[in-house]
Chains A and B, each alone.
Chain A
Amino acid sequence: MFRQTLKHGLVALATVIISSTAVAQDLTGTLKKIKDTNTITVGHRDASLPFSYFDDQQKVIGYAVDICMYIVNEIKKELKLPNLQVKLAPVTSATRIPLMANGTIDLECGSTTNNAERQKQVAFGPTYYLTATRFVYKKSSGITNLASLKGKTVVSTAGSTNLKQISEANTKQNLGLTILAAKDHPEAFLMVETGRAVAFVMDDILLAGLVAGSKKPSDFAISSDTLSDPEPYGFMMPRDDAPFNKMATAAASKLYKSAEMPALYSKWFDKAVPPKGLVLNQPMTDKMKKALANPTNNPDPASY
């Protein structure tokens, strides 16, 4: 009797061990790491309003953060990890690639432009925002459009694609601009505020955030002229990790197509956002609606 029970017990135990190792073996790469450590690490930015930033309580919030948390929740369900720990790691534009390459972060949720060159190094999730390059200027400076910048000093952020676009426009349209490169967005904006430059060329949504957060938002205007097609923003994932990429992409696509999405979008782009209650006033465009209805991580701006 006792032997019988022991035997049954051992068989049952063995089955459990075998089946559980079978599940664990199914997982590779990032998913395996998440399962093994019961932790997922999400990289975020510190001041990319309204995508990914700290609020006044040092909590990480934003549109991209909401999307990533939804993805994390889906992964939690898929992997059956009810107590999955979510670690947040701040990244900068300079550290996000090394930290993703060495496995410190599993997802990066910020305002990272998805382009073909970058896709050689990391994988991108489906596009969650489209932004065009425009410039901000002081209303009092007499600037109205691109042509009126002729011969003036403009600034953009060092290493940005925007800097490249204004350099090209400068050559092509013979504007004779002096183009400065600032270390980061707030500093470039400061150059316009203090008059070191008349215009700051950047992604329009980031400009809207900077203007809304400035001392006197009514002093500034954003150009209606654009210097680029709308460029896609997406979250980053490690490349060559198909199972993880597939799971995260499927989760994001599910959210984009869901009824929650328009509300989530307007929460960050139409309504007052913390910490200062800024209203960015950027309703969803038709291109954006299309991109959310058919989620894609195509890096080509012309495809949107």
Chain B
Amino acid sequence: MNYKWNWGILFEVSPEGKGTYLEMLLSGLMWTLTTAFFAWMIALLLGVTIGVLRTLPSRTGRLVGNAYVEVFRNIPLLVQLFLWYFVVPELVPERFGDWLKQLPNAAFYNGVLGVGLFMSARVAEQVRTGIESLPVGQRMASTALGMTTAQTYRYVLMPMVVRIIFPPLTSELLNTIKNTSVALTIGLMELTARARSMQEFSFQVFEAFTVATLLYLFTNMIVTILMRRLEKSIAVPGYLGTSANVVVH
């Protein structure tokens, strides 16, 4: 391969004049993490709400929940971001639309919203399956004890559901971090966007994307380790997901 490797490029000053190329990539990582954090908050909050809604006795509740999930998971994330960024400001009253367009960091808010809502549909599905995986007797027993629906969910169902869906939720969190890269299409200067501009400026494409790959890998490994720890600390002994040596007495 006719390629001139130059790892020293990372310590050269980037043409943007705000530090080296490495610092440029790290600032991209910061945007990735910030966007992912807020998007995950939205995803969890809405995901749990919608997921619960889909298992409630109320027919309307289930209908609304189903519609929400189907809309947000059936439209590609890229298209959703474009809709939020380019189409929505044209649909709302002009004054409000102009205000939206002139918002500083609009790409960031749009990215958080778009990725958050997209991921919330996936979280909602897992919450629903988590609830449905519990033996129906738990719900019946709660009712027999005179608990309201809210109490049943709060004290009986949800504590177990959280533990059951924890491993796939970790995957969804990792997906959220990775999916923020799609927001580069609306101008969010996150890690992938930074790697791309580094290769445009310097033409050192492999160095740029190697570093970006490693940064993603390390970030996600740290997240995985932390989530694994959290998973262990909340595990109920004797129930699924706990390691064998805890179960054996």
In angstroms, Cα B197 to Cα A161, docked, is 10
Interface of B is mostly: helix
| Chain A residue at minimal CB-CB distance from B18 | A167
Picked from B1, B2, B189, the residue with its CB within 8 Å of the CB of A158 is B189
| Cβ-defined contact, B4 with A168, below 8 A | no
**Does A223 touch B at the CB level, under 8 Å?**
no
Within 8 Å by CB of A122, from B196, B201, B203, lies: B203
Interface residues of B in 1-24 (CB under 8 A from A): 1-4, 6, 15-17
Give the residue name and chain of the B residue nearest to A30 (CB): B2
Question: Is B206 close to A, CB under 8 A?
Answer: yes
**Nearest residue in B to A153 (C-beta to C-beta)?**
B102
- The reply to whether B17 and A167 contact each other, CB–CB distance below 8 Å, is yes
A-B contact count (CB 8 A): 89
A94-B196, A117-B203, A122-B203 known; A168+B17 contact, CB < 8 A = yes
Answer whether residue B86 sits at the interface, using C-beta atoms and an 8 A cutoff. yes
A121 at the interface (CB under 8 A from B): yes
A159 touches B197 (CB 8 A): yes
B residues in contact with A118, CB < 8 Å: 203
Q: Kindly list chain A residues whose C-beta atoms are within 8 Å of the C-beta of B196.
A: 94, 158-159
Smallest CB gap from A195: residue in B: B101
Specify which chain B residues have a CB less than 8 angstroms from the CB of A62 in the assembled complex.
none
The chain B residue with its CB closest to the CB of A197 is B101
A120 to B200, Cβ gap below 8 A?
no
Whether the Cβ atoms of B201 and A159 lie closer than 8 Å is yes
- Name the B residues within 8 Å of A187 (CB-CB): 185, 187
Q: Is A196 close to B, CB under 8 A?
A: yes
CB contact between A194 and one of B15, B90, B187, B204 (< 8 Å): that residue: B90
**Structural contact, A93 and B200, CB atoms closer than 8 A:** yes
Cβ of A262 within 8 Å of any chain B Cβ, yes or no, is: no
B224 beta carbon closer than 8 Å to chain A = no
Contact A159 B189 (CB under 8 A): no
User: CB-CB contacts of A137-169 with B at 8 A, as 1s and 0s?
Assistant: 000000000000000010100111101100110
Query: Complex formed: what's the CA distance from A275 to B8 in Å?
Result: 45
Q: Is A230 an interface residue (CB 8 A)?
A: no
Contact partners of A239 in chain B: CB under 8 A: 2, 4
A183 touches B187 (CB 8 A): yes
Interface residues of A, CB < 8 Å — how many? 38
Q: Mark B84-122, 1 if CB is under 8 A from A, else 0.
A: 001001100000001001101011000000000000000
A99–chain B nearest beta-carbon distance, Å: 10
- Cβ of A102 under 8 Å from chain B: yes
Known: A103-B1, A158-B193, A167-B16. A98 touches B205 (CB 8 A): yes
Query: A159 CA to B196 CA in the complex, in Å?
Result: 7
Residues of chain A contacted by B189 (CB below 8 angstroms): 158, 181
* A262 and B89 alpha carbons, distance in the complex (Å): 46
What are the residues of chain A within 8 A of B15 when measuring CB–CB?
A: 161, 164
Docked complex Cα distance between A178 and B104 (Å): 8
- Minimal Cβ-Cβ distance residue in B for A158: B197
Answer whether residue B77 sits at the interface, using C-beta atoms and an 8 A cutoff: no
Contact indicator B98/A195 (Cβ below 8 Å): yes
* Contact across chains for A241 and B101 when beta carbons are under 8 A apart: no
Query: A133 CA to B201 CA in the complex, in Å?
Result: 16
Q: Is B210 an interface residue (CB 8 A)?
A: no
Given A120-B6, A155-B187, A196-B106, 13 new contacts (CB under 8 A):
A94-B200, A102-B3, A103-B1, A117-B202, A121-B203, A153-B102, A158-B187, A158-B200, A163-B197, A180-B187, A196-B102, A240-B2, A241-B2
26 example contacts (A-B, Cβ-Cβ < 8 A) are as follows A100-B2, A102-B1, A102-B3, A117-B201, A120-B6, A121-B204, A158-B184, A158-B187, A158-B189, A158-B193, A158-B196, A158-B197, A159-B196, A159-B198, A159-B200, A160-B200, A161-B15, A161-B201, A164-B15, A164-B16, A181-B187, A183-B187, A190-B86, A196-B101, A196-B102, A240-B2
